[in-house]
Amino acid sequence: MATTETNVAGSENIKLTAKDFATDQDVRWCPGCGDYSILKQVQTVMAETGLLPEDIVFISGIGCAARFPYYMETYGMHSIHGRAAAIASGLKSVRPDLSIWVVSGDGDCLSIGGNHLIHALRRNFNMNLLLFNNEIYGLTKGQYSPTSPAGKVTSSTPYGSLDNPFNPLALSLGAGGSFISRSMDRDPKHLREILLKANQHQGTSLVEIYQNCNVFNDGAFMTFTDKATKTLSTLFMEHDQPLIYGENRNKGIKLDGFTPVVVNLDEGHSADDLWIHDETDKLKSSILTRFFKPYEDETSLPRPFGIFYREDRALYEDLMAQQIADRKKKGDGNLDALLSGNSTWEIK
């Protein structure tokens, strides 16, 4: 239940909780779906932002993840397949004061919506993109998606997928994203931390969330969540800290030129030898996004989680507002002259 508190300026503010962002709608995902965990963490984060529900909008496309706006006690829109980022960009253009969150699955966002994703990232509106990645089409009953691994047997690839899967974060960084990150549904504490940092970022933040589809692709990310393999297969990055992981934090990553190498800290190496993560270093962040091969054994590069890259860059909505303001200073324009342009001539 909402309570009130007084801020330093002396005015009364409403203190919200996660329950204030939960609707009275029945949550209709399959029992055990990873979306339940993500929903809970997002509701918790919304309460921690200090924003009011009427100042927040959730926009989704089509797919299991797209049910999200129904379960958030905010404004929302269940929009068109693949077009959520485009619709969100339009809304941010005219209502820059709103906190806008896009929710999309790997099929919705990276297949039919791939073009809208890359242009939203390069334009850099101040909004958040949550990419639920379960490496499958769940709503349409288990066809392979752009992130399904090669050889994946599904109802649409009965002999195994021949496609090379998308690397979503490498794609996003290449498109000019100003905040690139990854978390997972089964690590709620880490997910909350990343969501809060994404919200604080001024620009388009992309959060890839590994999400288990327990009906059509159960265990796709078990390597990164199972106790037996998690410590050796995952790397949780922190800014300005060495890349250390392992059951006893005795393994690390160092760079041999630009080649990442796994080293053992029990065998003559120290933390001083290791790669220090810098979220503002685009070149090294690009290398980290390529830690993407399936985990095989303890010599494999681990899968990174956390913030890969962030940068401060001008916001599209600010640039657009400034351009309009500058145009108005010059007085009324001539519509006929604008439409005619410079490519007209008179025939005599």
Per-residue pLDDT of 255-280, as tens digits, reads 999 999 999 999 988 999 999 999 99
Q: Mean pLDDT by 10-residue block, N- to C-terminus, for the chain (348 residues)?
A: 43 81 96 97 97 97 96 97 97 97 96 96 98 96 95 96 96 98 98 98 98 96 95 98 95 95 92 96 98 92 98 97 90 81 80
Among 241, 183, 180, smallest CA distance to 211 is for 183
C-alpha separations of 300 from 39, 182, 326 in Å: 32, 19, 55
pLDDT of residue 341: 82
Determine how many CB atoms are found less than 10 A away from the CB of residue 68. Answer: 25
Residue 143 sits in a domain of what CATH number? 3.40.50.970
Query: 91 in a domain, yes or no?
Result: yes
Per-residue pLDDT of 32-64, as tens digits, reads 999 999 999 999 999 999 999 999 999 999 999
Q: Can you say how many angstroms the Cα of residue 303 is from the centroid of all Cα atoms in its chain?
A: 16
pLDDT of residue 2: 55
Number of domains in the chain: 1
pLDDT of residue 13: 67
DSSP per residue over 316-342, as a string?
Answer: HHHHHHHHHHHHHHT----HHHHHHTT
Query: 63 in a domain, yes or no?
Result: yes
234: left (phi over 0), alpha (psi -120 to 50) or beta: beta
Query: 304 in a domain, yes or no?
Result: no
Segments forming the whole domain that contains residue 39: 3-220
Query: 105 in a domain, yes or no?
Result: yes
Residue given tokens 């962040």 in the structure block: 285
Which alpha helices (DSSP H) does 67-210 contain, by range? 84-94, 106-107, 114-123, 168-174, 188-200
Determine how many CB atoms are found less than 10 A away from the CB of residue 111. Answer: 16
pLDDT of residue 232: 96
Query: 14 in a domain, yes or no?
Result: yes
SS3 content of the chain, % helix, strand, coil (to 5): 35, 20, 45
Show Cβ contacts of residue 257 under 8 Å, excluding neighbours closer than 6 positions.
Answer: none
Determine how many CB atoms are found less than 10 A away from the CB of residue 188. Answer: 15
Query: 296 in a domain, yes or no?
Result: no
Query: 114 in a domain, yes or no?
Result: yes
For β-strands 3-6 and 12-15, DSSP reports them as: antiparallel
DSSP code for 197: H
pLDDT of residue 12: 55
Query: 318 in a domain, yes or no?
Result: no
